Amino acid sequence: MLDFLASLVPQFAMDWWIAWPSWLQYLAATLFKILILTVGVILCVAFSTYFERKVIGSMQARVGPNRVGFKGLLQPFADVFKLLFKEVIVPSQSSKFIFVIAPLLSLTPALAAWAVIPMNNWFVIADINAGLLYVLALTSVGVYGVILAGWATNSKYALLGAMRSAAQIVAYEIAMGFALVGVLMAAGSLNIGDIVNAQAGGVSNWFLLPLLPLFLVYWISGVAETNRAPFDVAEGESEIVAGFHVEYSGVAFALFFLAEYANMILISTLTAVFFLGGWASPFEGWTFLNDISWLAWLTAGGLHWLFLKMCFFMYTFFWLRATFPRYRYDQIMRLGWKVFIPVTIVWIAVEGAMAWFHVGPWSNLGA
Amino acid sequence: MMLHSILFYVFAGIMFGAALGVILSRNPVHSVMFLVFTFFNAAILWLLAEAEFLAIVLVLVYVGAVMVLFLFVVMMLDVNVEAAKRGLTRYAPLGIGLALIMAIELINVIWLRDQGEGAALDFVDLPEGYSNTKALGSVLYTEHFYAFEIAAVILLLAIIAAITLTMRKRPGLKVQNISKQVAVRAKDRVRLVKMDAEKKQ
């Protein structure tokens, strides 16, 4: 793939590029990667709003958006332009500076966490050793945007939403962290590239089955962490209007929206990376597929597999939203503290036993 | 190494400014945000020293969890700025005293102790493939195993103590019994009655 891309570049451009000092080359290449990834994530966000409305529409026996563009495909862009041209109203009794930076504080971590996620076997912006910890740290920082927005608005509905969100995220983060402890025990590394490589070799080597309880805990905590239905008490339209973003309009609201969807895509991708083998193909080792030229992509790992797995989890997000009623607040807390955390702790002990007897992902450990 | 020094002084300067912001800003929520910013800059300084585990854990634990709870509490407070100002002159000597003790301790660590070895004036380049996480783990779980485990037990005790101290059993409080609710079967609650259709009047 890289060689193919390199062959497209004309010779004089190549010579010009090589003449650059190495630090400038590195800087330019990194900035270019960041640009590609950010644009990709934002496009995914745009089309996932369309995807969501179509999925929920069909589940509720409606058509969904079908007016703007072919089959309504341009609807996300129409929404973006509408939001861009609306006025941003800053409430007079609000804390102005914090009110304005709060949406940015929730968007930045959602985008920055993508830096350590490998898209295929060579595309990753920062291949760092403590990648898993970095992701965990950044997903936990995103809550500041919500809390500060709720506080700065100076409205009781917004403050209630912020309080609920803070308590919820702190509660579910512990279960999420414990689930990831299980992943790092199985992979033996904090580097996300190594975690994917540890799952190479088809479905049987994925962490999905040996870590099934942790997978469920991680995924449900992820839904709770992104404040999505059925855990969307921070917004709670029926009781606190729109929660923390009740006074936000125009671009400021659009940024919150972008952050929420970017976080959903991030959680979907992370679940795929940690439990479903990331960019690895489920048909790895089915060599007879390689003989049929148009089916070769099935056995080859790459971005397309990561994208498909991510789309599956995004679909599950929308499916949950269309299916379940909102949890009551005390039930959310009960689920987080009294169900998920004990489940993860027990399964970590089970993993310890599995590692001791060399079962599953540990079968080649010291043998 | 020149770039390292420049970055160090830039982030140390920002950190110092943010730390000043913590004590100088009037609004407690702004103070908390300055403290969060200070933690971030401290994490960057650790990253410069190639201690990526410490840096990320600082952000994860302090910024992601402790400060969120802090903000949670501070947001609920209705702080009287005038009363806080009156206290300033009363507590100033104590604050200055504490700051002096900490400064002396820091100087002691950096300067006096390292006189024999000579403290590094610059960041040391660590060997290729060095992992801070692995280095810390291999020491914590072998040499300092007992200290590490005892610290964990003390923390657990502190959590349990805090919960038992604040837990109140109020009489007449209605709570659900989830397992009872789940165990309910339709036949315990619903009685199906068979009856003939009645004639329309």
Span A222-278, pLDDT tens digits: 898 888 878 887 777 777 777 778 788 888 888 888 888 999 999 999 999 888 887
B154 band by pLDDT with thresholds 50, 70 and 90: very high
Considering only CB atoms, B29 lies closest to which of A129, A151, A190, namely A151
Considering only CB atoms, A129 lies closest to which of B64, B131, B178, namely B131
Give percent of chain A with pLDDT exceeding 90. Answer: 7
Q: Mutate which of B71, B159, B179 to disrupt the A interface (most A C-beta within 10 Å)?
A: B71
Q: Is the pLDDT of residue A142 over 80?
A: yes
ipTM attached to this prediction: 0.79
A218 band by pLDDT with thresholds 50, 70 and 90: very high
Instruction: Using an 8 Å CB-CB cutoff, list residues of chain B that contact chain A.
Output: 27, 29-30, 33, 36, 52-53, 56-57, 59-60, 63-65, 68-69, 71-72, 75, 131-133, 178
Considering only CB atoms, B60 lies closest to which of A98, A136, A334, namely A136
What pLDDT shows up at residue B160?
Answer: 92
A88/B83: higher pLDDT: A88
What pLDDT shows up at residue A367?
Answer: 43
What pLDDT shows up at residue A140?
Answer: 83
Q: Is the pLDDT of residue B17 over 90?
A: yes
Q: What is the mean pLDDT of residues A344-353?
A: 88
Shortest Cα distance, chain A CAs vs residue B65, angstroms: 6
Chain-wide mean pLDDT for chain A? Answer: 83
B153 band by pLDDT with thresholds 50, 70 and 90: very high
B168 band by pLDDT with thresholds 50, 70 and 90: confident
SS3 of chain A: the string is CHHHHHHHCCHHHHHHHHCCCHHHHHHHHHHHHHHHHHHHHHHHHHHHHHHHHHHHHHHCCCCCCCCCCHHHCCHHHHHHHHHHHCCCCCCCCCCHHHHHHHHHHHHHHHHHHHHHCCCCCCCCCCCCCCHHHHHHHHHHHCHHHHHHHHHHHCCHHHHHHHHHHHHHHHHHHHHHHHHHHHHHHHHCCCCHHHHHHHCCCCHHHCCCCCCHHHHHHHHHHHHHHCCCCCCCCCCCHHHHCCHHHCCCCHHHHHHHHHHHHHHHHHHHHHHHHHHCCCCCCCCCCCHHHHHCHHHHHHHCCCHHHHHHHHHHHHHHHHHHHHHCCCCCHHHHHHHHHHHHHHHHHHHHHHHHHHHHCCCHHHCCCCC
What pLDDT shows up at residue B122?
Answer: 59
Q: What is the mean pLDDT of residues A199-205?
A: 77
